[in-house]
Amino acid sequence: MKNNYLVLAGVVLVMAVMAAGVWTGCESAGNTDGLSISPSSPTLGSGSSNSTSAVVFTVGVRDSLALPLQWSVSNPSMGGIISASGSNATYVANAGKMGDNIVTVQDQYGNKGSAVVIQQ
């Protein structure tokens, strides 16, 4: 009978330790509504030497932002993120490529935001 109590006590202890690990390992996401990117739809020139072919995006911080951010583009042949630091990233259009390219950012909580680069 004494052994049954020891086994039961061991099971309860293991379950308590596992529950404590779950409770301490979870953080609340401060901004679950998604991320806002500014500018939201910049227009860039992709062929002319006197047109702007780059834009710096900034992620707006409402409650909290879980860095580092992950940046991506829908069509890398049109352009891409050449540098990213903190809440900013620089997008450069590839010469001669026209159309819309979607830039997406995601933080470590899984919150996402996007902007559309219009290349003319």
Domains of the chain listed by start with CATH number: 36-119 (2.60.40.10)
d(CA 74, CA 114): 10
At residue 105 the predicted structure's pLDDT band, cuts being 50, 70 and 90, is: very high
d(CA 47, CA 113): 28
Kindly report, residue by residue over 14-60, the tens digit of the pLDDT. Answer: 455 454 444 444 444 444 468 999 999 999 986 555 567 999 999 98
